[in-house]
Amino acid sequence: MTKHLTFCRNFLLGSLMVLTIACGKDSKLHPVENKAMATKTGPKSVVYVEVNNHNLLNAGTYTLAESGAQLFDIAIIFASNINYDASQGKAVLHHNENVTAVLNKREQIIKPLQDKGMKVLLSILGNHQGVGFANFTSRAAARDFAQQLAQTVETYQLDGIDFDDEYAKYGENGQPPANDSSFVLLVEELRTRMPDKIISLYNIGPAVSNTEWQGKKVGDYVDYSWQAYYGNYGAPNIAGLTNKAHLGPAAVWINQQPANASTAANLAQRTVDDGYGIFLYYDLPQSNSSSYLSAISNVLYGEQTEMSGASHPWPTP
């Protein structure tokens, strides 16, 4: 839940003391200097941006027509990979050229979203190499990969990590099959290194089938989990993650479902009626999607969505 804090600055002008009060967000957000951010009430809107094709900055161009609040609360860079390095004999974090471009242009692409109060996460995805989040065979191996993730978050001043357990191809290329301890150990180690950052889970793959081990639960370490099948409805079942405010039962694919605005509105209504706290969007494009997004925001927040400013091209000029 977003909390509001009040902070003050005192300016001494000659013998006159002037007290100026401004409003800001809590420490997990990035307040804009001398400007109160517009807020909204309702589920968090979470959007994946496929940075091989689209500019992450576009997540910040959508606002609610009346309040001026940002539509999206969390923007996710999709995606880096978990790869296998044979020379080191271990799993390694890999950024392709497009993700690398986004990370290296943090000041131009990531920080502007954070300055609007949005969180920016990095999604991690399997890469057909036999390794993934669910087949670490020791705590040391899980710890090593967790350290790589935490270092990336620190280096690029991100707000957290998202796990997407697809395309790992467990058991291939001489790698072990998935097991019941690996993902629990990984998120435990990552939470130790990122106590104040977000850890989220896309509800798919062997990792989400192995969320409890020796009394430890993935939900003890993960903040959010959401639906992985677009156009469908059903809350994730993650051990220890039971608070509806941290679950997203519905998901839409913006680029593939624009003709089904009524379906999106229905999914949004069910989310609200059932008291869940997350609504998931995937694949935000360059083109203006405000009409389709309005079908959702009208239900979630009682406001139309509008695109403020021009669309941002990709790659950047």
Question: In this predicted model, what pLDDT tens digit does every residue of 125-136 receive, in sequence order?
Answer: 999 999 999 999
List the catalytic residue out of 107, 166, 189, 306: 166
Q: Yes or no: is domain 39-307 CATH 3.20.20.80?
A: yes
Distance CA 83, CA 10 (A): 52
156: exposed, middle or buried (Cβ count in 10 Å: 0-12, 13-18, 19+):
middle
**pLDDT on residue 36:** 54
Is residue 66 part of the annotated active site? The answer reads no
Q: Provide mean pLDDT across the span 9-21.
A: 34
Domain positions in the chain: 1-37, 39-307
**pLDDT on residue 147:** 98
pTM of the model as a whole: 0.88
Q: Quick: pLDDT tens for 147-180.
A: 999 999 999 999 999 999 999 999 999 999 999 9
